[in-house]
Amino acid sequence: MLKFADDSGFHREVKRRVLEYFQRTGLSQRDSPRMYLKTAVLVLWFGLSYALLVFAATTFWQGALLSFSLSLAMAGIGFGIQHDANHGAYSSHGAINRLMGTTLDMLGASSYLWRFKHNVSHHTYTNLGADDDINLGPFGRLSPAQPRRRFHRLQQFYIWALYGLLIPHWHFVYDFKNVARGQIAQNRFPRPRGLHLVELIAGKAVFFGWAFVVPALFHPWWVVLLYYAGTSFVLSLVLSVVFQLAHCVEEADFPEPRPGTSRLPNAWAVHQVETTIDFARGSRVLTWYLGGLNFQIEHHLFPRICHVHYPRVADIVQAVCAEFGVRYTAHEKLFGAFSSHWRWLGRMGRPPAAERRELEG
Ligand SMILES: [Zn+2]
């Protein structure tokens, strides 16, 4: 079991200052009216795109456009509703979080499993071996600790196809395989029972119903499969790229335990800040759509605060980081983050000598 170093006071201070902000302004950390409005907009966007795609579109191009819109609406629900809800950051009422969290089940992925994958595996062990978010198996190399293979030299070019398979893999393999193994990456989790099991099965049934059964009543099966493939490819690509921009970029840290021990060099909170990068913080459109995934440093420090508050929280976090000498990095533009991810893919794919020269230079 990996162990973080002791906190030097940074975590205590940043928590104190953020709490003080909420006390001073009288704002509530959760249950923001903006969040309920955003939920309504995203669900409406999703419902409208789906209904028009299945019941109204008559030409290929109408279908393609609506399928694209459906993918973006689904990604928006993933970023902006289920992520907060499954963290317990949407509402202070557990029942509302559970209800909003099931939007992920409606999209075809089990929220029960996601909570273990994301809240434990990814949020505790960010950018370490136990972080399932940077695990593409042997097909891609996203961190220096992962074994290198010759074909990784080409990953800059082919990895997008792998990213595009994320959601079909999730729909048909990932959840089923993990329930059978009782394990995600290196972390064991209790298999779902009782209500959780009902939720998982009902979620899958509802998803397969709206995604395949209902459309197949109105269209030939190959048309349904074609649009499923297109929609899930775009959705997968958007989700994967947004995840990677916050962690798999040149500026992010990929620490390893001290040789011969399981002790990590930094305390947990410092580790979270230095393994994570913010981007496009000035863009109101992206901040609305990505649900604060572009304020990922703030999210990693305060996963139970609703993302609508992150832009203000970021000022406080950045100030405390400067005081404690913690490296805080933000890409100003989406493109800057994207090109850094591109260069990181290249660096991780090249032979060891070339990579060493780059790291030293
Ligand atoms: Zn999260």
In this prediction, residue 210 carries a pLDDT of 97
Range of weakest confidence among 89-98, 264-273, 345-354: 345-354
Residues 151-169, mean pLDDT to the nearest whole number: 93
The pLDDT tens digits of the residues spanning 11-24 come to 999 999 999 999 99
- Does pLDDT of 177 surpass 70? yes
- Phi first, then psi, for residue 210 (nearest 5°) are -75, -30
Q: What share of the chain has pLDDT > 90, as a percent?
A: 74
Which residue has tokens 């006071």?
A: 9
Alpha carbon 324 to its chain centroid, in Å, reads 28
In this prediction, residue 258 carries a pLDDT of 84
The pLDDT tens digits of the residues spanning 299-336 come to 999 999 999 999 999 999 999 999 999 999 999 999 99
How far does residue 119's CA lie from ligand 1's centre (Å)?
Answer: 6
How far does residue 272's CA lie from ligand 1's centre (Å)?
Answer: 12
Range of weakest confidence among 53-62, 246-255, 304-313: 246-255
How far does residue 219's CA lie from ligand 1's centre (Å)?
Answer: 38
The pLDDT tens digits of the residues spanning 285-304 come to 999 999 889 999 999 999 99
More confident residue, 259 or 360: 259
Q: Under DSSP, is residue 350 helix (H, G, I), strand (E, B) or coil? A: coil
How far does residue 79's CA lie from ligand 1's centre (Å)?
Answer: 9
How far does residue 302's CA lie from ligand 1's centre (Å)?
Answer: 9
Whole-model pTM: value is 0.92
Q: Where are the alpha helices (DSSP H) in 78-193?
A: 83-87, 94-106, 111-114, 123-124, 155-163, 166-169, 175-181
- Phi first, then psi, for residue 76 (nearest 5°) are -60, -40
Residues 147-157, mean pLDDT to the nearest whole number: 93
In the predicted model, what is the mean pLDDT of the chain?
92
How far does residue 118's CA lie from ligand 1's centre (Å)?
Answer: 6
How far does residue 213's CA lie from ligand 1's centre (Å)?
Answer: 32
CB neighbour list of residue 8: distance below 8 Å, 6 or more residues apart: 267, 270, 324
The pLDDT tens digits of the residues spanning 216-233 come to 999 999 999 999 999 999
Q: How far is the C-alpha of 78 from the C-alpha of 72, rounded, in Å?
A: 10
In this prediction, residue 124 carries a pLDDT of 79
Q: Give, in order, the Cα–Cα distances in Å from 280 to each of 35, 247, 325.
A: 20, 14, 23
How far does residue 51's CA lie from ligand 1's centre (Å)?
Answer: 30
How far does residue 78's CA lie from ligand 1's centre (Å)?
Answer: 11
In this prediction, residue 360 carries a pLDDT of 64
Q: What share of the chain has pLDDT > 70, as a percent?
A: 97
How far does residue 252's CA lie from ligand 1's centre (Å)?
Answer: 17
Radius of gyration of the chain (CA): 21
- What dihedral do alpha carbons 238, 239, 242, 246 form, nearest 10°? -160
Determine if residue 36 is left, alpha or beta; phi over 0 gives left, psi from -120 to 50 gives alpha, anything else beta.
alpha
- Does pLDDT of 184 surpass 90? no
How far does residue 265's CA lie from ligand 1's centre (Å)?
Answer: 23
Q: How far is the C-alpha of 279 from the C-alpha of 332, rounded, in Å?
A: 6
Q: Give, in order, the Cα–Cα distances in Å from 312 to each of 26, 198, 270.
A: 14, 39, 20
- Does pLDDT of 96 surpass 80? yes
Q: Which residues pair with 3 in a beta bridge?
A: 263
How far does residue 112's CA lie from ligand 1's centre (Å)?
Answer: 14
In this prediction, residue 354 carries a pLDDT of 64
- Does pLDDT of 183 surpass 60? yes
Q: Under DSSP, is residue 356 helix (H, G, I), strand (E, B) or coil? A: helix
Concatenate the DSSP letters of all residues of 249-307 into one string: STTS----PPTTSSEEEEEHHHHHHHT--EE-TT-HHHHHHTTTTTSHHHHHH-TTS-G
In this prediction, residue 361 carries a pLDDT of 56
How far does residue 87's CA lie from ligand 1's centre (Å)?
Answer: 7
